[in-house]
């Protein structure tokens, strides 16, 4: 039987994963028994070559190539793996950590550059919006009624007794300032450069 041998010097990647801000204090990656429950319930695994069990194995074996492996971008972030894991591991959370590592290294930026307009809108309005490149496809797929909805949304909200969804100016300034000081603004600039 093949077992995963954890050598002392071969646990750098798993240590980095556990140190990440996203990693829950009780994240049970060391308890993984490679049972495969995660992969068996995974919509990404059903539709693509993504395999959360294999991703966890590679992290435990300190295989850094997993970070830039294209398959990690096929996770649906549905956390079904998390909800069935008998060991308290969370493949979905680890996936998100690996994606951030890939972004930090540079390669992963190509995967998110298509969504940068969402960040711009967030800083302008305090709410994100779907980038126009994707929005155009949605109008085509859903139909012209979808465009009408977008044009009339403020009137519809008024009819429903709801106020404007755009934040007051002072609140937007606060949000923008937070995103400037958190490094998000710079991050967005860097991501845009890889276009």
Partner 1 sequence: MKFIPDKDILLFKSCLVNVEYPGVESSTCYIFDRIDVDYYVDEKQSCCTGLGHYYDLFDQISTTALAARNFHLAAETGHKNIAVMCATCYAILKKSAKILNQNEEARNKVNQILDDSNLENREYTQGDMDPTLNIFHVAEIFFNKRDEISSLVKVDLSGLRVATHHACHYCKVHYNDTIEGVRDPNLIDKLAKAVGVETIGWYDHKSVTCGAGFRQRFTNKEASLAVTAEKLQALKDNKVDLLLHMCPNCQMQFDRYQPYIEEKLDTEFNIFHLNISQFIALALGADPYKILGIQTHTVPIEPLLKRLNYSLESNEKIDVEAKKSPN
* Cβ at position 57, least distance to partner 1 in Å: 22
10 contacts partner 1 (rule: CB under 8 A)? no
Minimum CB distance to partner 1 smaller for 106 or for 143: 143
* Cβ at position 156, least distance to partner 1 in Å: 6
* Cβ at position 105, least distance to partner 1 in Å: 13
DSSP H or E segment with residue 80: helix 80-84
Specify whether the backbone of 126 is left (phi greater than 0), alpha (psi in -120 to 50) or beta: left
Among 84, 105, 189, 190, binds partner 1 (CB under 8 A): 84
Footprint of partner 1 on residues 18-47 (CB under 8 A)? 21-22, 24-25, 43-44, 46-47
Question: Beta-strand (E) ranges in the chain?
Answer: none
- Three-class SS of residue 116? helix
* Nearest alpha-carbon partner for 146 in 157, 136, 154: 136
Footprint of partner 1 on residues 115-144 (CB under 8 A)? 115-116, 118-119, 122, 126-130, 134, 137-138, 141-143
Cα dihedral sign, 91-93-95-98: negative
Using a 10 angstrom Cβ sphere, with 0-12 exposed, 13-18 middle and 19 or more buried, the burial of residue 69 is middle
Minimum CB distance to partner 1 smaller for 42 or for 59: 42
163 contacts partner 1 (rule: CB under 8 A)? yes
């Amino acid at each position: 039987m093949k077992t995963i041998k954890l050598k002392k010097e071969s646990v750098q990647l798993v240590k980095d994963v556990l140190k990440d801000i996203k990693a829950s204090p009780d994240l049970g990656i060391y308890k993984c028994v490679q049972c495969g429950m995660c992969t068996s319930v995974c919509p990404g695994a059903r539709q693509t070559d993504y395999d959360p069990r294999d991703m966890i194995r590679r992290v435990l074996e300190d295989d850094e190539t997993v970070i830039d492996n294209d398959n990690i971008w096929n996770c649906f972030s549905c956390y079904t793996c998390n909800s069935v894991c008998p060991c308290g591991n969370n493949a979905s959370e680890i996936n998100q950590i690996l994606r951030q590592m890939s972004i930090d290294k540079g390669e992963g930026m190509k995967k998110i550059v298509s969504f940068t307009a969402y960040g711009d809108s967030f800083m302008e309005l305090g709410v994100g919006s779907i980038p126009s490149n994707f929005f155009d496809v949605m109008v085509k797929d859903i139909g012209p009624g979808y465009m009408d909805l977008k044009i009339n949304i403020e009137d519809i909200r008024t009819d429903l007794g709801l106020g404007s969804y755009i934040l007051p100016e002072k609140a937007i300034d606060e949000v923008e300032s937070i995103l400037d000081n958190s490094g998000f603004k710079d991050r967005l600039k860097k991501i845009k450069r890889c276009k």
